[in-house]
Amino acid sequence: MSLISQPKLILILLLFSLVISDSEKVLKPLKLDDKIKGKMDENESREYFELKLPENIKRGVLLVFTVKESRKGIREGDEIFSDPDIYVSKSNKFPSNREEASWYSERYGNDILTIPSYAVEPNEVFYVCMYCQYKCRYELYSYLSTEAPAEIGKYYDITLSRKASISYVLFVPENDKKEDLYVVANNPSLKNFRIFMAKESPSSQNTFQIIPSWEGGYSITVSKYNKDYCTNCYYHILFQTEEETVKISFTAYFQNTLSKINAGNIINDVIKAGAKRCYYFDTSSKYNLYNEKLVFNLNLFSGNVILNINGWKSNPDERLTSLSKTSPYYFNVENDKVILLQKKDFDYFDQELNSNENNKEKTLYFCIHGQQMASYTLTINFLSEVESLQRYNQISPGAELTGYLQGGQVTKYNLLDFNLNKNSIITFTFTQLEGKVEFFSGFCKDECEFNDEILKNKLQLGEINLATEIGGNAGNKKSIIIKPEDNVC
């Protein structure tokens, strides 16, 4: 069989396979306000649901889908588990991906997908697909809403379709210190959206002042001297999109608010000069902390900050500590920073607790202090999770990633959404943070497995190229240009 005829045969077989699998798809019933718990034990799995809205719904309401991943206790050996994604359509009964769906959300972690009010009608039918790249557990919940609730200190991730809007009602509790209130919202993909905030029916006429921030985001400060400042009250926050589907992250906080971070969550934040943001990370998990390592990844986009890790603190007053330059966990961050915490660090934190508290579950407290107006992304995860996830890192055009590797380790990246052909040129730009790394490039006909022996063999056979060795001083940058061959996959 000639090489020319092979792709045609593969295409025919693929189309035939799709027709067969389509006939086997099943639509499961989904009801408003019912929580669905699902699991998928095979890679590349999908489940489909049909939601019919009741006849007596009010006009102008939003349809909201919330998807929560539930991975607790299902990690086995070196298997990979992924979080679920959701696709929704009114015309396609089986929307398997973003191209086949009218609305979708593909965020890492929990998803909130809002269907705009113009599409929500009595007796309307929506078709829902839950997708997992690898094995997963999930909870799916749908409800109608005019406003969604929000709380101080929590982070919210929403996916808003084009020309849509959603309103949040934010409850502000009593604050004895009467601190300024901050609201930060952003979109990492630089897509446009609008935000308005007021005590009543926010719009462009009555909103608090909105300051454009980094990466397509905004920040709002309600000063304690503002006539509309209040506590034990409600504010309303309105988000609107224009011509694109937009993923939005937002949070509201006081300076002394402690915000919780979960393993693997991506936190986008902005901090003013002289202000501080404090967080806590619950280390209790399926892992034995003292046999594990924690990876702090602080990606600084602008300004500079000080990171102060306070350890576990039983005294609430010590969780929001003042800066201590003599502490070994005081870091002046002017570029990206990756910090590895391990047993010796946990033992150090233990020494600061009373002996009778050493066996209790530990909560890690830390604060970021703004030296200048700064914007940053923060993630914390267990090293074993980072290593597993790094095997399947995905890069889209324009994406920025910060990585951590121990000596001798290899991480792999898959290119997504690149429309490649024999004339394509890809440019990678690297910024050296610490240590020395080597960069390998290659285009594989099958799944690339990276380890020392396979790398050596591929290098000898000419199937993969050592493009460069990256080392030197922190802050050094190198650009690498790669031109794929005809057999790009």
Q: Residues 37-63: what's their mean pLDDT?
A: 87
Give the per-residue pLDDT at 305.
92
Q: How far apart are the C-alpha atoms of 206 and 484, rounded to whole Å?
A: 53
Give the per-residue pLDDT at 471.
55
Domains, in order of start, for the chain: 25-144 (2.60.120.380), 148-254 (2.60.120.380), 258-384 (2.60.120.380), 386-482 (no CATH)
Contact (Cβ atoms closer than 8 angstroms) between residue 399 and residue 418? no
Structure tokens at 280: 């806590």
Q: How far apart are the C-alpha atoms of 15 and 150, rounded to whole Å?
A: 46
Q: How far apart are the C-alpha atoms of 340 and 41, rounded to whole Å?
A: 32
More confident residue, 102 or 290: 102
Q: Is the pLDDT of residue 8 over 50?
A: no
Contact (Cβ atoms closer than 8 angstroms) between residue 330 and residue 368? no
Q: Is the pLDDT of residue 395 over 80?
A: no
Q: Angle at Cα 102 formed by Cα 100 and Cα 105, nearest 5°?
A: 90
Distances 126 to 34, 40, 60, 63, 118 between C-alpha atoms, Å: 15, 22, 17, 10, 14
Q: Is the pLDDT of residue 161 over 70?
A: yes
Q: Is the pLDDT of residue 222 over 80?
A: yes
Of 25-29, 80-84, 116-120, 186-190, the one with minimum mean pLDDT is: 80-84
389 Cβ partners below 8 Å, 6+ apart? 80, 264, 381
* Dihedral over Cα of 456, 460, 462, 466: its sign: positive
Give the per-residue pLDDT at 360.
56
Biggest alpha carbon–alpha carbon distance for the chain: 79
Q: How far apart are the C-alpha atoms of 239 and 248, rounded to whole Å?
A: 9
More confident residue, 336 or 31: 31
Give the per-residue pLDDT at 273.
86
Give the per-residue pLDDT at 20.
36
